[in-house]
Chain A
């Protein structure tokens, strides 16, 4: 089992991103340790999604460095980043509505077919995938689409999962399902970087936390520390605990 002190799975140093004339990321520095789940928190517009997209290569960093498992991917194109073992679950889930559940997973399995054991495990996490195997992904409910998006990201072993607001817009019961699924994923030592607005969700799952504000990292540390410090929460996230689900 890799030690937490070994090289982090993901490291950002001084990353800046410009979109058109807007300067969104102003020197972002943080790390995601191996086999941990790091939560990226912050208010709306802080730059969290931009961070994920920059790592994924969808937007080019104008300065700084991004390393995945030691490899520099700052200027890499998106397909390259994905081929290195990074999986991305975007905010809008990005599932292909015109393709079936089966076809969505087939596409995500770069080696051709999803491996039988892996698929069975996924069905265990998300039974709906089995039920709606031949259904058009566009006909699934919001929660099921989210599950499909995550299932796609784990259909083959990946080094790093980037997940953008998985709990957004979902009913509490579905969120509980997701929590169980992510806990299960954590047991397999998958490294994850997750953006979240729901602090309870974040608190339950996160090992480490990084907080962003206005394109900068303003706090990094362990989740249990932040979770226990209400004053720090209010200062960083600006919302009291009660306003979360």
Chain B
């Protein structure tokens, strides 16, 4: 950094703090978790529920993050986003079933040697499909929201059927590798191994996205482009090329989320994407369209709430995320972390 800039950074007259993060929504996660503790009553149960909620939230985050970024940057809402999830899930399933021999060895290394390719296959397949979607279906209808909604719905119909053509109409069971099944005990609480894995992967994905967005030039371009794509072009950048990259990355992420979700459910079916799409939309709305942090917080809140209400008030559980959405919108009509559009 140049000396002028360096001295500016140390300038005590810098009256405005470099407030980068609004802490309140982020704080909601521990607040809700802690509020649930007295209601749940028992600490071990609470621990299990919380881990379950966080794991679910992480998987939802992975599935939803691509959507919010694509919408924020390109103003495109892909109703067929669920297809990337499903394709990722099926891709992982295919690889895992081929490699089932490796998973019988009961060692972490051999299990990983099956899971990692499965996940990579999921990301690659979903990313490829995303590329196809962007080029063929979506690019002709940039700017026309009505047509976009219709086209992506059409893509959803066609590709869901194509999944059936390629993988057959039945539900495919998914073997879960031995070393990550079952739970380990902490004190009196049982924590599922797979859920811990999901939490770790989710945190890693979020950290990687955050670093990419905030510490790299490309991330700078994406953040600026979400706010004002025209101005980014006026500064000399071909933002359309960035669009493709972000779309493909978003689809790949959805594929990753789908793979993780499928391994958790231990089965895949073509409707997977649709089943989770409403939840994803709710998370994206709660978080604020275009905000990755918002999506992260929203997903965690939804995951935690679903698990707590599932235990405390099961009838309410399915509708809990919609109620959460209504409450959040009443508080912040544009979501937790609204992106200021110029």
A residues with a Cβ closer than 8 A to B are 56, 58, 77-79, 82-83, 87-88, 90, 92, 94, 96-100, 102-103, 106-108, 110, 112-116, 119-120, 123, 130-136, 138-139, 152
Contact = CB atoms under 8 A, between A and B. Distances in A.
A136 B18 contact: yes
Interface of B: 1-5, 8-9, 11, 13-20, 217, 220-221, 223-224, 226-228, 230-239, 339-340, 342
A13 to B, nearest CB: 23
A106 B220 contact: yes
B236 A82 contact: yes
Given A56-B234, A58-B234, A123-B4, A136 B19 contact: yes
A98 B230 CA distance: 16
A133 B8 CA distance: 6
Nearest first, the 9 A-B pairs at minimum CB distance are A82-B236, A116-B2, A135-B16, A94-B231, A133-B8, A134-B18, A78-B233, A130-B8, A88-B234
Contacts, number: 105
Contacts of A119: 2, 4-5
Nearest to A105: B5
Contacts of A90: 231, 234
Given A98-B340, A110-B236, A116 B4 contact: yes
Nearest to B226: A98
Given A78-B234, A83-B236, A94-B342, A130 B4 contact: yes
A136 B18 CA distance: 6
Nearest to A135: B16
5 contacts: A108-B235, A116-B4, A120-B4, A130-B8, A152-B235
A5 to B, nearest CB: 30
A99 B219 CA distance: 11
Given A96-B223, A96-B231, A106-B220, 15 more contacts: A79-B233, A79-B236, A79-B239, A82-B233, A97-B227, A98-B339, A99-B220, A131-B14, A132-B14, A133-B5, A133-B14, A134-B8, A135-B14, A136-B18, A138-B340
A159 B93 CA distance: 57
